[in-house]
Amino acid sequence: MGGVASTMAAKFAFFPPNPPSYKLITDDLTGLLLLSPFPHRENVEILKLPTKKGTEIVAMHIRHPMATSTLLYSHGNAADLGQMYELFIELSIHLSVNLMGQVSRTHMQILKPHTSVLKKVTAPKQEDIILYGQSVGSGPTLDLAARLPQLRAVVLHSPILSGLRVMYPVKRTYWFDIYKNIDKIPLVDCPVLIIHGTSDEVVNCSHGKQLWELCKEKYEPLWLKGGNHCDLEHFPEYIRHLKKFISTVEKPPCQRYSSKRGTDQFGQPRKSTDVFEVSRKSTDWREKARHSTDRPEKLKNQSNHADKLEKLKNQSNNTDKLEKLRMDQMERSRRSVDCHEKSRKSIDHQLERARKSVDRLDRIRTG
C-alpha cells in the first residue's frame, strides 16, 4: 500500500515549469510585490497567503470595477502564475468578476488558506465566492466547497474522481487515496458547473460525467467535443457557457429558479430541488396576484360578449320584422289580385247578361 501511495503522490505532485515563467520581485518605490516580466496593473495585486502548514501561497488578486462575485481559481499541477496570468486577466474581463489565482510549491498541501484570509482578500462574504478547480486543482476546490455551505457556486474544469481512480479503475475509496472528490461532491450545496473535454487523454471524460451525476445542484454541463486536458479555454463555447453560468448564479434566488424552470439549465434529478421548490412559492404568489389583475379583463370580455349577443338579438328581431313586412306585402298583393279577379268576373257576368238580352230581342224581332 505504501508503494501505491508513493506512486500516486509522485504523479500528482506539483511540477511547475522549470525555469519558472515569472520572477517575484518587490518594487523599490512602492514596496509592492510584482510578477516580472509582466507590466504592473492598477487592478492587479500580488499576495503571499499563509496556509495551515505554515508555508505561503503566492496569489494573484484581480479586481473588476463592476464585479459582484470573486472567482477563486486553483489551477493544475503543471502550471504557474506566469502561464496563467493572461488567462486570469481575460476571465476577469469577460466574466466581470474579481479573480484570485493561486499557486503552491506542493499541491499536497491542498491550497488551504484560512477562511478568514479568503474573506479578507477576495470577498466580504461567503455568498460572493465562486470556487474554480482545474484538473488536480479540483481537489482543493471541493475540499473547501464541502466546508463552506453558503458558497455562490463551484466550477470544475477537467476534474478527477480521485487520485487513485486516474491510474486504476477502482470501485471503492481507499484510505491512502488523495483528492477524494467522489466522496466530497455530494456535500456541496451550491450549483456546480462541470466542464470536460471528450478527448481528454489525461483524465477521462467519465470522471467529469460521474461527478456531475453526484452533484446536488446540477447545472447544465459542458462536454467539449474533441477537447483535450489543457486546451478547453480555446473553444468558443467555453467562455460563452461559463459566462452564462456566472450570470445565472449572480441572479437573486427567485429569478434564478424561474430561469431554471424556463430553460432547464439545472439537471434532473437532484436532492436540492426541495430548496428550489421552497423558493418557488414566491413566484406562485405573484402568479396568484396576477389572476386578480386579470378580472377587469375578464369582465370586459364578458361585457363585449353580452354586447355581441344583444346585437345578434337585435339583428334577429330586425329579420323577423322584415319577414313580417314581406308577408304583409304578399298578402296585400294577393288580396289585390283577388279583387281584380272579382271585378273581372263581375264584368264578364254583366256582358253575358247583355248578350242574352240582345239575343232575346233578336228572337222577338224575327218572331
- Residues annotated catalytic, as ranges: 135, 200, 229
Query: Would you call 183 exposed, middle or buried from its count of C-beta atoms within 10 A (0-12, 13-18, 19+)?
Result: middle
d(CA 20, CA 35): 11
366 Cβ contact list (under 8 Å, min separation 6): none
Q: Are strands 44-50 and 23-26 parallel, antiparallel or unpaired?
A: unpaired
Structural contact between residues 250 and 201, judged by C-beta atoms closer than 8 angstroms:
no
Kindly list the distances between the CA atom of residue 15 and the CA atoms of 213, 226, 261, in Å, as whole numbers in the listed order.
Answer: 31, 26, 44
Residue 247 identity (one-letter amino acid): S
d(CA 179, CA 195): 18
Rounded (10°) CA dihedral 341, 346, 348, 349: 140
Instruction: Locate 338 and state its grid cell.
Output: 283577388
CA angle 18, 19, 24 (to 5 degrees): 120
CA angle 102, 236, 134 (to 5 degrees): 25
d(CA 352, CA 217): 116
Instruction: Locate 292 and state its grid cell.
Output: 386578480
Whether omega for the bond prior to residue 37 falls within 30 degrees of 0, making it cis, is yes
Instruction: Locate 214 and state its grid cell.
Output: 453526484
